[in-house]
Amino acid sequence: MFAFGLTLFAGLATGVGSLLAFFTSNTNTKFLSWALGFSAGVMIYVSMIEIFFKAQDALINASGDVMGHWLTVIGFFGGMVLIALIDKFIPSHGNPHNIKKVEEMDKKSSANGDGALLKMGTFTALAIAIHNFPEGIATFTAALQDPGLGIAIAIAIAIHNIPEGIAVAVPIYFSTGDRKKAFKLSFLSGLAEPIGAIVAFLFLMPFLNDMMFGLIFAGVAGIMVFISLDELLPAAKKYDEAHKSIYGLISGMAVMALSLLLFI
């Protein structure tokens, strides 16, 4: 229940993003840049310092020293390939990590027409659901094995889910004028994360030995590093002011490092 609760918390952050969008007419670019950098810092640090080596230890226990190292690397790059394929087959206007400002969405509401905006918001909601599903498996599995690590991953994912919620809610609101519908679609897109946790519980738990755990964790590390380098950091730099993104990145790494030390 603890692991599932963490996953639910991370997923529902998309709803928080949609609520923020309804109560502001301008995007706080300084905060957005810092927050995206912070999320990337947490993800990169925890992936390369903690998750990768936990996966490696488990795979070495399961298959020996040499094969364990090989499987860890294969799982790591396999995770990158998986998320790259997901991104490749999602239309660019529906990619949940292509962060938009509230003001930009407002301009598009008059330029593109209601139908185009509704389609954009719906595609984005679907894209976020697809992205959140493996993130839910990652958070749930991590929390089962190491509660402290699960908390850190859940917080990082929740932070980067907030602007994703904005990306869903704003175009749907401008196309329909219906705040409830915009919030509902944004909220539902985040539920893919706890659904991923349920799938992990039902189908992976019976087979969760060192080999399965190691491969999942290696893949999760790859996914999180890819998302950070390919999506979060470029988005943070897009809205960067006075090096806020790099300060956020370093802050995220420092907070992650401190939290891991406290849980030793």
**pLDDT tens sequence for the chain (264 residues):** 898 998 988 888 888 877 776 665 555 667 777 877 887 888 899 889 988 998 999 999 999 999 999 999 999 999 999 888 877 776 555 455 555 555 554 444 444 445 666 776 677 677 777 777 877 887 888 888 788 778 878 887 887 777 777 777 777 777 777 778 888 888 888 888 899 889 888 887 777 788 988 998 899 889 889 988 887 788 778 777 668 889 989 998 998 888 778 766
**The pLDDT of residue 110:** 45
CA distance linking residue 42 with residue 256, whole number of Å: 6
User: Do the beta carbons of residue 145 and residue 216 sit within 8 Å?
Assistant: no
Picking from 158, 13, 25, 37, the residue whose alpha carbon sits closest to that of residue 103 is 25
CA distance linking residue 186 with residue 170, whole number of Å: 9
CA distance linking residue 262 with residue 65, whole number of Å: 29
Annotated binding site for Fe(2+): 132, 135, 161, 164, 193
Residue spans of the domains in the chain: they are 2-22+29-262
Q: What is the pTM of this model?
A: 0.72
Residues whose CB is less than 8 angstroms from the CB of residue 147 and which lie 6 or more positions away in sequence, other chains included: 2, 3
Annotated binding site: 132, 135, 160-161, 164, 193
Handedness of CA 161, 163, 168, 172 (dihedral sign): positive
DSSP 17: H
Burial class (CB in 10 A: 0-12, 13-18, 19+), 43: buried
Annotated binding site for Zn(2+): 135, 160, 164
The CA-atom distances, in angstroms, between 27 and each of 22, 91, 208 are 11, 24, 43
